[in-house]
Amino acid sequence: MAAAALIVLLLAVAAPAFHSQTASAAGTAEKETHIKVYWQDVYSGPSPTAVVVAQAATTNTSKTSFGMVVVIDDPLTDGPDLNSSRIVGRAQGTYIGSGKDSLALLMNMNFVFTAGKYNGSNVAIMGRNSIMDDVREMSVIGGTGVFRWARGYAQARTHTFDLKTGDATVEYNVFIRH
Ligand SMILES: *[C@@H]1O[C@H](CO)[C@@H](O)[C@H](O)[C@H]1NC(C)=O
Ligand SMILES: *[C@@H]1O[C@H](CO)[C@@H](O)[C@H](O)[C@H]1NC(C)=O
Ligand SMILES: *[C@@H]1O[C@H](CO)[C@@H](O)[C@H](O)[C@H]1NC(C)=O
């Protein structure tokens, strides 16, 4: 009687664990997705998508923008020209001047897809963006929707940068395993 009860108890405890193990072992095969978008940082005009919300009190940091905080809701387009390309999503988040003696931003943003097969899904990107380098690599640290469990990396290349206005178009190639 005691032995039977013990077996029932063991099964009750073991069964859920066993079940969840098989579920993850039989989980869907991992995919690798490459997404290329153009990130449109707009300071100029009547409807900027990048706003400076904080700056360091000292002007001794202006060369590297150290201490500057920018909030963005930048269009992500399928081509480099913002006017004639399709908007496939938004880059929402912040970037922070985080290099005291070098020009390096800390990017912290979600790529929020609003069109096509990724509509409704997000990819979270965080990393160092040394903007004068030809290629900057950042981490993909997560995702939602079709990008659940995402990890990977993003490579950014400046397409155009307007020194006068600060407007920039940057090509992002994002490689995601999910
Ligand atoms: C800026 O800081 C450096 C040290 O980091 C100092 O030598 C220099 O005098 C400062 N310049 C100004 C204008 O305060
Ligand atoms: C896009 O349109 C704006 C406003 O109409 C204009 O000022 C800008 O020069 C255009 N940009 C390009 C690359 O054509
Ligand atoms: C994206 O998804 C939303 C919510 O489901 C929907 O309202 C919208 O029409 C979709 N956009 C496109 C371009 O498919």
Q: Residue 36: what pLDDT?
A: 98
Residue 51 is assigned to a structural domain of this protein: yes
Residue 24 is assigned to a structural domain of this protein: no
Four-CA torsion 163, 165, 171, 175, nearest 10 degrees: 110
Amino acid at 94: T
pLDDT digits (tens, 9 = 90+) for 111-145: 999 999 999 999 999 999 999 999 999 999 999 99
The count of structural domains within the chain is 1
83 Cβ below 6 A of ligand 2: yes
Hey, whose CA ends up nearest to atom 11 of ligand 3? Answer: 115
pLDDT digits (tens, 9 = 90+) for 28-72: 789 999 999 999 999 999 999 999 999 998 777 778 999 999 999
Binding-site residues, ligand 3, Cβ < 6 A? 114-115, 119-120
Residue 55 is assigned to a structural domain of this protein: yes
CATH code of the domain containing 104? 2.40.480.10
Across the strands, what pairs with 45?
none
Residue 80 is assigned to a structural domain of this protein: yes
Structural domain harbouring 57: 32-177
Residue 9 is assigned to a structural domain of this protein: no
pTM equals: 0.82
Question: Which among 46, 50, 35 is positioned nearest to 161, based on CA atoms?
Answer: 50
Residue 21 is assigned to a structural domain of this protein: no
Question: Which among 85, 113, 109 is positioned nearest to 95, based on CA atoms?
Answer: 109
Residue 42 is assigned to a structural domain of this protein: yes
Residue 67 is assigned to a structural domain of this protein: yes
Atom of ligand 3 nearest to the CA of 116: 14
**How far does residue 172's CA lie from ligand 2's centre (Å)?**
21
